[in-house]
């Protein structure tokens, strides 16, 4: 992902819950990427609708190479729905591309060698 650009993914439940299901969303490294929402809540009425998480790459102004980070998804274990309690969705791994990396142009000069 290029800094200042956005990417997104969706999350939805596989089955209708008996209680609200909240999934917390966080970046493992906010100096590389940030998320649009800190949580997603699924209910008995919206459980089968996709909810979108948008990630924005951060330009850190460092020549540190491409940096991997994760968007962590953590289920709220206070739900009374035993089908979803203690079941965390998979994290999403991203890479923030280093656009600040310096470089050199080397070219030959005509003439004797």
Q: State the pTM of this model.
A: 0.81
Q: Which domain holds residue 50?
A: 6-96
What is the number of structural domains in the chain?
1
Domain membership of residue 108 (yes or no) is: no
For the chain (113 residues), the mean pLDDT of every run of 10, in chain order, is 86 97 97 95 98 92 86 94 92 87 76 67
Domain membership of residue 12 (yes or no) is: yes
Q: What is the pLDDT of residue 101?
A: 64
Domain membership of residue 111 (yes or no) is: no
Q: What is the pLDDT of residue 112?
A: 66
DSSP state of 46: T
- How many CB atoms are located within 10 Å of the residue 42 CB? 23
Q: What is the pLDDT of residue 106?
A: 83
Domain membership of residue 83 (yes or no) is: yes
Domain membership of residue 81 (yes or no) is: yes
> For the chain, where are the E strands, in sequence order?
6-11, 21-27, 33-35, 39-42, 51-57, 67-75, 92-96
Q: What is the pLDDT of residue 62?
A: 78
In terms of Cβ atoms closer than 10 Å to its own Cβ (0-12, 13-18, 19+), residue 55 is buried
Pairing state between β 51-57 and 33-35: antiparallel
Which residue in the block uniquely carries the two structure tokens 């060698």? 113
Domain with residue 65: its CATH number is: 2.60.40.10
Domain membership of residue 64 (yes or no) is: yes
Distance between CA 51 and CA 41 in Å, rounded? 9
């Amino acid at each position: 992902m290029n800094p200042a650009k956005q990417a997104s993914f969706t999350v939805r439940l596989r089955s209708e819950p008996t209680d609200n299901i909240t999934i917390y969303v966080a970046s493992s490294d906010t100096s590389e990427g940030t998320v649009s929402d800190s949580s997603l809540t699924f209910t008995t009425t919206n459980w089968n609708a996709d909810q979108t998480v948008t990630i924005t790459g951060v330009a850190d102004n460092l020549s540190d190479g491409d940096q991997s980070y994760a968007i962590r998804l953590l289920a709220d274990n206070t739900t009374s729905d035993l089908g979803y309690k203690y079941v965390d969705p998979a994290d999403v791994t991203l890479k923030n591309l280093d656009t600040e990396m310096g470089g050199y142009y080397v070219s030959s000069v005509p003439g004797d060698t």
